[in-house]
Chain A
């Protein structure tokens, strides 16, 4: 299997390199793998994730995602890469003035799909996350668990190469959390999507084989 994510001697820092969060780490993640990244609060989990979708430029080292070198990437190429990523946030990051259906098809809208295709896909995706009846509601009319399912549906909309999830169940109850884990497991199993989840706690009920990295003292270590 080919590498989808590859980091080599990667250093991530804020304040123009003055505040290092991750230092000199190397790892690879292959297509179709399910990966958990855990670690204490403030250890740099979210920072690592941000770097993977190009929000934070590496200070040193190499970082390649989906074949694209994120150290020397041009804005246009970065935009292209992002259209092949499915990103899930702890705070959902839904667009509150848009309906649930419109939020879900955002990646399709960006890719230039027709309105008919968008509508069909919105119905399919919302049915998949069991929110079909909420298509015309606005995000703030839904519960936290439901909003996160909208976020997952949006992440799956364009069959992404990689799903990057930042504490996707951080604010949810057990039932909602299990629904989210199921959806991500299915995506990984059925579509061979690489899933990388940053979380403070690995779910106890998890059926897929997975890899587990811990971030500690600015390093990233794999747990065997």
Chain B
């Protein structure tokens, strides 16, 4: 029982840190996907007196990425139904030019306002509509959820680190005497730490395997049936196999730091 407890005391905090790291990576990727979606679907509308080329818009602001003219004839045909041809031509002549303008990245409302100002500085540009408020509100909500989650992950990581430090105290108590005797007889550091490393690496592997099981369950079972569009559509991308490598390496790094910290905080033999 004590044996299991001793191991769980290290495995559980380590697992919490690994889960936190995985959640962090997943949410980073989800946010990037969401931002990409917003960026690709977002356009602002530019109204100009005369036709305007993409290069001219780019000169006004470097974030302008694409420009697609809206067919004026179609607008006129819809608003001038029942009018004769010459009236339609008059309306077409008086109608300004409309463009859907895309940006190179996701922008906040304040940045959109700056772009609007840049574009409107050209006398040829009559009006710019950014649709900024709608665009920003959903992203702000998403960012807020992400911030709360990151805060929770950070809190979990800090608590887990404290638990690992507590376990290091237990290790110190358990292994200090053996390490001291070995040091007196001239054992090099790595030999003295051998037993501790074996214990810690086994714990790291157990934590890594548990993490992998959770990972595979979420990826192949839960994600497809989650009912959350962005996760269902992108579950392959959200949790990547390379994450497992990252997590195993992180677990080993934590183990190495924990074992060496235990050794260096133990009272050495030389006084």
Contact = CB atoms under 8 A, between A and B. Distances in A.
Interface of A: 14, 50, 53-57, 78-83, 85, 87, 93-95, 97-98, 106-107, 109-110, 154
Interface in B127-154: none
Given A50-B271, A55-B270, A57-B270, A82 B185 contact: yes
Contacts of A154: 185
B241 interface: no
Interface stretch (B92-100, B105-113, B175-183): B175-183
Interface residue SS majority, chain A: mixed
A82 B184 contact: yes
Contacts of A107: 185-186
A110 B271 contact: no
Contact of B182 (A54, A78, A110): A110
A8 B57 CA distance: 88
Contacts of B270: 54-57, 78
Contacts, number: 52
B185 A110 contact: yes
A97 B187 CA distance: 17
Given A80-B186, A83-B186, A56 B271 contact: yes
B191 A14 contact: no
Contacts of A109: 191
B269 interface: yes
Contact of A95 (B181, B188, B269): B181
Given A55-B184, A55-B271, A81-B186, 7 more contacts: A14-B271, A57-B271, A78-B270, A80-B186, A93-B184, A95-B177, A110-B186
Interface in B152-196: 177-178, 181-182, 184-188, 191
A80 B182 CA distance: 13
A55 B186 contact: no
Nearest to A82: B186
For the complex of A and B, the 3 pairs showing the least CB-CB separation, nearest first, are A82-B186, A83-B186, A79-B186
Contacts of B269: 54-55
Contacts of A106: 181-182, 185, 187
Nearest to A47: B271
A195 B187 CA distance: 22
Interface in B194-235: none
A201 B187 CA distance: 32
A82 B191 CA distance: 15
